[in-house]
Chain A
Amino acid sequence: MLNWRVADTQPLQEEGVRFLCRHADKLGVPYNWSTIVHSLYAAMRDDGLLLAMDGAGNVRGAIACALGTGEDNYADRGRMEVHLLYLDENVRSGREPVGAIAALVERELEWPRLLEAIGFYAAPEERLRNLFGKIADLDHTREHRCGPLDFYWTTTARLRAFVGCAK
């Protein structure tokens, strides 16, 4: 079972970034690298870089989230955007993906103020729409610098209910 924790020290942040660099071509996000790097920067600013550690202390997954969403150019900090969620290929089976959502919910609940909504972008693919449709509502699809992207909204309550049902 992976142990999720906030990367709140320089050594942990370094480990997390190096892990993502080594898996850069497999992250499955539709953005270019400068956007990923900016996302990690924003996540660190908001204590939103979460790392999944295995029993040997190695990073096996990461979540980057930060206050504000791209929908209003990050003005409303009562909302949160999940920029990236990545698990090492060999920890994607079993309960680890649900564990990642649970870690995200736990982090959201620790935020100083209640989050109104959680948004995220994804490539406009049917497979992803089926997957993310379990935890969020597709709001719209728009053209961005990196191409067309779907945008989803969800809530902490909905994610928590999903984690509860999956237990």
Chain B
Amino acid sequence: MVRIEVCETTSQWSRYTEFYITHRTSIVPGYPVAFALKDVRDTMRQGRGGLLTNEADEVIGIGSFVLGLAEEGFGRKEIAVLGNSFFTERYRGNRTFFRGLQALAEQIAEANPDTAEVRIPTAADNVYTNRLYGKLAKLAGTRETDYGTVNVYALPYADFAAFCRRYA
């Protein structure tokens, strides 16, 4: 049984960080350690992060979001931006993913009940995530970054929450 816990303690955040650093290049090829650290910092200060653990208490996935847009100094808190989420291969493609998404939807609403929109950035060349996010959101834009081209999918928060409920 997979357990989902919202990170609060140093122990939880350090496990989150270690998992993210270890798998960062599987999420975004060539992603530097320093960028991943910046993501963790921003998630802790501007959003929330969660750990998924298995029966052996091993971390098998992470999920996160920030409120606001990084490019606007985290202004526009009505927009939640999902962070780089990742599950080890064995736990992909089953209910775990949707349970994780539902937990994110709940946490977003709790962090800001006025959240109106959810944005999901993902590496443009990641076929798996683009296919997945394309099913639930519209491609809202594409931007060049220091680590490659990123597609940003967007949908109203209500649609995101409804999608997560449907599959959880």
Contact = CB atoms under 8 A, between A and B. Distances in A.
Interface of A: 10, 13-14, 17-18, 20-22, 24-25, 32-34, 37-38, 40-41, 44-45
Contacts of B40: 34, 37
Interface of B: 10-11, 13-15, 17-18, 21-22, 32-34, 37-38, 40-41, 44-45
A40 B37 contact: yes
B17 A17 contact: yes
Given A40-B37, A44-B33, A32 B21 contact: no
Contact of B34 (A13, A22, A25, A34): A13
Contact of A33 (B10, B21, B38): B10
Main secondary structure of the interface of B (DSSP, over half): helix
A21 B17 contact: yes
Main secondary structure of the interface of A (DSSP, over half): helix
Contact of A37 (B11, B15, B44): B44
B10 A14 contact: no
Contacts of A17: 17-18, 21, 33, 37
Given A18-B18, A24-B14, A41 B37 contact: yes
